Structure 1
Amino acid sequence: MKTLSENRCFGGTQGVYAHASDATGTEMTFGLFLPPDPTGAVLWYLSGLTCTHENAMTKAGLQVWAAEAGLTVVFPDTSPRGDAVADDDNYDMGQGAGFYVDADEAPWAPHFRMERYITNDLPETVFAAFDLDDTRQAITGHSMGGHGALTLALKHPGQYRSVSAFAPICNPSASDWGTPQLTAYTGDPAAHDATHLLAGGATLPPCLIDTGTADQFYDKLGTAAFAGAVAEHRAEAQIRLQKGYDHSYFFVSTFVPDHVAFHADHLA
């Protein structure tokens, strides 16, 4: 692991690091905020389409609340990158749009192994480099990253004590933010759809979702479908529609304090 930068931040350290990933076969960059008095608990933050590790690290405002709660926050990248990595001209496909799945279709399969990267490869690197507790993990994300947070929590029971999401794509197999991409990567969008996973019997850890009523992409998110699956299966979840909020980081930063407090309670 290489240190690219470290900055003092709310009494802790906001670092940016790079490492060679076995999962993607590329060098990957991630941000990590270490609070001044870490409890050992870790919150993974998965970003949305077109983002890198940097967007949420600089715009979401997690650090002040994480410092207060003693939570370490990790900001992974959204896909493998590099000249040898497959890409697409569309913003919602290829580099910057990994959808947190392991691709098994050409030309994506050699490097787009983001599920294994987030759940296995990056945690191995982080827990080897920092004195943190791998039994106390939680996960959150925004938009495509909200999709990632929900599906990874559903597919890896016991790994995360809690999950939350900001405007998540939670029914991608019924959306053009999901169906084309997941078909291209895996051939099976429903296998990576939080609504289908929950309806199929997967266990959802304690969950908090916020979505804005003025979200310009509301029709792509599938909030109602996921809420129906939550109700049918009596999952422990709060789904809140926030009046007047859109899809931006202004929305995310407004409700970050609630999400950090939610995870801190479950990671205590």
Structure 2
Amino acid sequence: MAKAFSVQATIASFGGNLLKLEHNATSTGSTMKLNLFLPAQAEKGKVPVIFYLAGLTCTGDNGAEKGFFQATASKHGIAIVYPDTSPRGLGVQGEDESWDFGTGAGFYLDATKGSYAAGYKMSSYITKELPVALYGQFENLDSSRVSIMGHSMGGHGALTLFLRNPGMYKSVSAFAPISNPKNCPWGQKAFGGYLKSEEEYDEWDATELIKKWGGDFEALIDVGDADNFYNHGQLLPENFIEAAKSKGKADKINLRMQKGYDHSYFFISTFSEDHINYHAKRLL
């Protein structure tokens, strides 16, 4: 069987290796780059996996280089996948005109509108094509023990993909997630550009999806109270919590407002250990 990924670099990291990979993805119609951290334990047997979804303007490098996730993941023997945030170079009109839409801003949904519908299929890529390709080539990844987390737009992605795919992930966590995108400027811009009708917005909004969730729901969510985007109404985690409360799903959601922290990787790296430990308890 032909290998899906070519390895562009292998970098020693916390006793394991960070692999810089690329492959031709059919769901996005583009060459996709990503990072894969394999802990030392992967040399002896199967290890669980966490997908980390990055935010607006980011690539698969940001979390791997600035999140400090590998330090704790290596102790537990957990692999981490750092995908890109959108297809790149498709030549879709308007995809490079602004930083919060198009390139680097795929919003982890499957677009249905206009030219974006052909390649902006980040939900299908993250939940279907990418994991199948990874598990096929890297047999030391345990496809039965998988969790997901993300930051900002990636926090939105983590919550929505978890809620849209019951049973796929063992746990979910988020840093400063865009929690109610249909009611914030970032989300309204993205949904308006990617989705052909407002009726589709609820399908990609965590605050709406939690209302339909069956059974218990559990999550760890960190938000900085000095986050400029939070304070200007882009994140709206309170809306998510209120929707969960209305359906009796809020008891196991740990929303932590972190005093003095902003939206940056200084914030993420400070609490990355907590998030890896949170997932480790559910994966190991």
TM, length-normalised to structure 2? 0.91
Supply the distance in 1 between the matched residues of 2:217 and 2:39 (Cα, whole angstroms): 25
- Aligned twin of 1:33: 37
- Name the aligned partner's letter for residue 120 of structure 1: K
What is the deviation of 1:83? 4.9
Supply the distance in 1 between the matched residues of 2:239 and 2:277 (Cα, whole angstroms): 26
Q: What SS does the corresponding residue of 1:221 show, helix, strand or coil?
A: coil
Structure 1 pair 85/71, CA: closer, same or farther in 2 (3 Å)? farther
- Aligned twin of 1:175: 184
Q: What SS does the corresponding residue of 2:268 show, helix, strand or coil?
A: helix
2:107 pairs, out of 93, 99, 106, with: 99
Q: Does 1:128 align with 2:136?
A: yes
Supply the distance in 2 between the matched residues of 1:104 and 1:32 (Cα, whole angstroms): 30
| Structure 2 unmatched ranges of 5 or more | none
- Name the aligned partner's letter for residue 181 of structure 1: A
Q: What SS does the corresponding residue of 1:65 show, helix, strand or coil?
A: helix
- Aligned twin of 1:3: 7
CA RMSD across the alignment: 1.3
- Name the aligned partner's letter for residue 176 of structure 1: P
Structure 1 pair 109/204, CA: closer, same or farther in 2 (3 Å)? farther
Structure 1 pair 203/215, CA: closer, same or farther in 2 (3 Å)? farther
Structure 1 pair 78/204, CA: closer, same or farther in 2 (3 Å)? farther
Q: Does 1:66 align with 2:80?
A: no
Dislocated runs of 4+, deviation >4 Å: 202-205
Residues 102, 113 of structure 1: 8 Å contact kept: yes
- Aligned twin of 1:23: 27
- Name the aligned partner's letter for residue 210 of structure 2: L
Deviations 1:130-172 (A, max 9, x none): 1211110000000000000000000000000100000000000
Q: What SS does the corresponding residue of 1:154 show, helix, strand or coil?
A: helix
Supply the distance in 2 between the matched residues of 1:164 and 1:204 (Cα, whole angstroms): 15
Q: What SS does the corresponding residue of 1:252 show, helix, strand or coil?
A: helix
Supply the distance in 1 between the matched residues of 2:170 and 2:215 (Cα, whole angstroms): 12
- 1:1-268 equivalences under 5 Å are 1-38=5-42, 39-86=46-93, 87-130=95-138, 131-186=140-195, 187=197, 188-201=200-213, 205-218=217-230, 219-235=233-249, 236-268=252-284
Q: What SS does the corresponding residue of 1:104 show, helix, strand or coil?
A: coil
Q: What SS does the corresponding residue of 2:127 show, helix, strand or coil?
A: helix
Supply the distance in 1 between the matched residues of 2:172 and 2:203 (Cα, whole angstroms): 19
Residue-pair matches, total: 268
Residues 7, 21 of structure 2: 8 Å contact kept: yes
Structure 1 pair 204/195, CA: closer, same or farther in 2 (3 Å)? farther
What is the deviation of 1:205? 4.5
Bigger CA drift: 129-138 or 203-212? 203-212
